[in-house]
Chains A and B, each alone.
Chain A
Amino acid sequence: MEYEYLYKRRFDIKNNLISNKSLLINYDIFISAYNSSYRVNYLIDNIEANEKHIFILPEYNFESEELANLEDKFNLFKFSTFDESEVFLEYFRNHILPNIDKNIIFDITGFLRHHIVYFIRLCKQIGIKKVDFVYSEPIAYKNKENTKFSRDFQYVREIRGCGGSHSVNVSNDYLIIGSGYDYNMVLNIAKEKKKTKKVQILGFPSLQADMFQQNILKAYQAEEEIYPKIELDSKDVILAPANDPFVTASLLSKFVKKAEQVNPITNLYLCPLSTKSQTLGMALYYIFECIDKSVSIIFPFCSGYEKETSEGISRFWLYTVEF
C-alpha cells in the first residue's frame, strides 16, 4: 500500500478566514463531534455541507443548556453509551449506507481516538469508497505539556472491530504506541502489555515548534514502564509528522516489515495516543494491512475527557482516503 499517494491539502486560516476555501467542495454530509475548542467550532461553522451531523459524546459530559445554541442549527446525535460500536453501528445503517456514494467529510478533531479508528474500520467493512477527513491544528495546548486530556482511566480493551486473532507464542510481541501528551494513558497501556517490545511514535515535525520538546518531556516520564529507555536515535522510536496520517501509516508499515525481517513478530498491538492525524494513520495501516492477522488496536478507556484543551486554530488539513 502506497499511503503517500493519498491526497492531502493544507488550508491556512488568515484573519479568521480560510485562505483557499474555493478548493473545498460543497459536501453532502459533514460529521463532527462537539466540544468547546475553538477549532472544532470553527470547522462546524465554516465547512459547507447540506447536512451537518454533530455527535454529542458522553465523555465530554455536556449539560443540555450548553448545547442549546446547537439544537436549532444542526442535526444532533446524542449518546449515553461509551461503546464506539453502539455510537456508530446504528448511525451507519441509517445515515451512511443510504448515502454511500455521496460526498462525506468527517472532522476527526473533536472525536475521540477510538471513535475515529472504529469509524474507519466500519467504512472498510461496509465498502465505502471514499471519505474526506479533516483535522484542525491548535495554536497551542492550554497548559503546554501539562495539559490534561483524559480523566478517570477505566480499563484497556481492543477498539471494536479491531481485535486480531493472537498467537499463544508471545516471545516477540510488539506494542507500538502513538505517544502524546497524555502520558498517564501511555503508562496504562504499557502496564497492560508488559511483556511486549515497546515502540513509540513521536510527532516530528510537531504541530507547533515547541510541541516536540513538550512531547519528549512527557515520554520520558513513562520511561520505567517502557523499557528500554527512550533514546531519540533508537530503533524503538518512530519519528512521524504529527499532522500527516499517510506518512505515519507508511513509516509504521516500513517499521513492522523491517522488524519482521529480523525476527517475525508474534503479536502486534497498536495504540493510538498521539495526534488525531496520527491516529488516522494508525487506523489506515490497520485496515489496509492487519485485518485477519495477529494484530489488534488496543486503547485505555476513560470515563471523561476535557471539553477544551487547546487555543485557537492555526490551520486545518484535508485528507482524502480511498478505501
Chain B
Amino acid sequence: MSGLGRAVAAEAAKLRTLPAAPLTVLGTAILAGAIAGALAAQEPPIPAADAVAGAVPLAQAGAILLGVLPVTQEYAGRQLRTSLVAVPSRGAVIAAKTAVAAAASLLAGALATAAALGAAWGAGIATGDGAPDPLAGGGRVLGAALYLALMGLLAHAVALLLRGPVPALTSTLALVLLVSPVLAGLGAFARWLPDRAAAALYLPDAGPGDWLGPAPGALVALAWIVALTALGAWRFCRSEPVP
C-alpha cells in the first residue's frame, strides 16, 4: 500500500474507533427517519421527497457534528503529535483526513436520506395513501444526500481552520441554521452562501431567482469548501501541533 493509502487507512481507523462517530451517523439517520415519517403521516399527504426535504435542515446538524470530528479529535490530548510522528507529511495527513471526512459524510448523508425515505414511504402506506411512486422526486432525494455530505465537508474545512470543537461547531451551526436564514430575507446575495447554494440540490422550488439551481449551487458550495480547506491546510502546515 502506498504512503497515502496507509495514511487514509489510519485516518479511517481513527474515526471508526471514535465512539462519537458511529453514534452520530446512527443518530442522524434515526432523527431524519423520525422527522420524515412524522411529516409524511400528516394530512394532507405530501410526496415522500418533500418529507425527506423537511428532515434535511435538522439532520444537517448531525452531518456537521460528524464533519468536525476527524480534525477536532486530534486536538483533544496529544493525539496530533502521535499522528505527525507516524505520518510526518502534513499534506498527506490533510489529504487523508479530507478523503475520510468526505467518505464518512457521504455515508452519513446516504444513510440519513435512506432512513428518511423509508420512513416517509412507510408512513404513506400506513396512513392508507397507497404505495407511493418509488421514483417520484428521486433526483431531489439524491440531492438531499449530497447536500448533507457537502455540509459535513464544510464543517470539516471549518474545523481544519479553527481547530477547536467549540469554535468549529458553533460557527458552522450558527452559519447554516441562523445566519443564513436571516440573510436570506435581505436579498439575493444570500444564495451564494455555501449552505443556500447547496440547498438547491434538494429544494422543490430551486429555480432561478432565490436559488442557483442544483448543479451551479453544488459547484458554488464546493468552491467554498475547497477555499476553506485550502486556508485550513495552510494553517495546519504552518502551526505547531498543539491546541
- Is B a genuine binding partner of A? no
Q: Residues of B at under 8 Å CB distance from A? A: none
- What is A's interface to B at a CB cutoff of 8 Å? none
